[in-house]
């Protein structure tokens, strides 16, 4: 469970783990800056003495120009590194094509024959607006390539616990890499306002061990 319901999801992929670490790292810098600035503002308000060197000093102006530049560099470099990691895609073991419709998802396993299905929201479910009739199985510890597109309007396929969010654009293929590192059922929803029933496009991914995934594949043969 999330601490006080304000934290991020527990990570289910290496990318989400790095996103959480970067979030904590950035928040540490931001909170430190806020604390220092607040301290000096309070100090200046209660201080009854005025120094002419503080009112006009070129060295102070140089320092408060250089320090923000250095701080931004400490934030920008890890951010760029993480962006490249998210786009990295080397020899995926599995490819899944995801097609957005108004208002449901279709899935195609292109590495196998005759494995495709639609996923609609389940009207009777334990988790309201989150359950589907056909969830999407994926194997653990396997690099999976996800390809998204749309048949009508813009959609967005999202699994927050895995750090995945990818637009489904009509007439275009977008791809992203996913490597789940633990088993479980993970939920998401369309994150693009795609029409009147936008809130009725849930996403459910079942991350299962590779031997169970192979058994599931054999059921279609």
Give tens-digit pLDDT for 35-54: 999 998 898 888 877 766 66
Instruction: Please give the average per-residue pLDDT across 119-135, as a whole number.
Output: 83
**pLDDT by residue (tens digit) across 141-172?**
888 899 999 988 899 999 988 888 999 999 89
Instruction: Please give the average per-residue pLDDT across 186-213, as a whole number.
Output: 89
**pLDDT by residue (tens digit) across 6-21?**
677 878 888 888 888 9
Domain boundaries, the chain: 9-87, 94-218
For 9-87, give the CATH class: mainly alpha
Identify the bridge partners of residue 206 per DSSP, sorted by sequence position: 137, 185
* Tokens linked to 78: 């890890």
**pLDDT by residue (tens digit) across 130-142?**
889 888 999 998 8
**For residue 152, what pLDDT is reported?**
87
Confidence band, pLDDT 50/70/90 cuts, at residue 5: low
Confidence band, pLDDT 50/70/90 cuts, at residue 55: low
Confidence band, pLDDT 50/70/90 cuts, at residue 205: very high
CATH number for the domain running over 94-218? 2.60.40.420
**For residue 52, what pLDDT is reported?**
66
Alpha carbons 63 and 183: distance in angstroms, whole number: 50
Instruction: Please give the average per-residue pLDDT across 210-216, as a whole number.
Output: 90
């Amino acid at each position: 469970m999330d601490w006080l319901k304000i934290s991020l999801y527990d990570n289910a992929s290496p990318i989400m783990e790095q996103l959480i670490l970067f979030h904590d790292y950035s928040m540490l810098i931001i909170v430190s800056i806020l604390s220092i600035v607040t301290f000096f503002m309070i100090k200046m308000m209660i201080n009854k003495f005025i120094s002419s060197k503080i009112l006009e000093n070129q060295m102070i102006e140089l320092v408060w120009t250089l320090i923000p530049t250095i701080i931004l560099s400490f934030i920008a470099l890890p951010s760029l590194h993480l962006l490249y990691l998210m786009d990295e895609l080397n020899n995926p073991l599995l490819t899944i094509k995801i097609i957005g419709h108004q208002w449901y998802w279709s899935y195609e396993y292109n590495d196998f024959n005759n494995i495709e299905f639609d996923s609609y929201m389940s009207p009777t479910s334990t988790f309201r607006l989150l359950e589907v009739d056909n969830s999407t199985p994926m194997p653990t510890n396997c690099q999976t390539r996800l390809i998204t597109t749309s048949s009508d309007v813009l959609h967005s396929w999202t699994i927050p616990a895995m750090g995945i969010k990818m637009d489904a654009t009509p007439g275009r293929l977008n791809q992203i890499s996913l490597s789940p590192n633990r088993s479980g059922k993970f939920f998401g929803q369309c994150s693009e306002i795609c029409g009147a029933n936008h809130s009725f496009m849930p996403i459910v991914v079942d991350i299962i061990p590779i031997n169970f995934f192979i058994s599931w594949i054999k059921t279609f043969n």
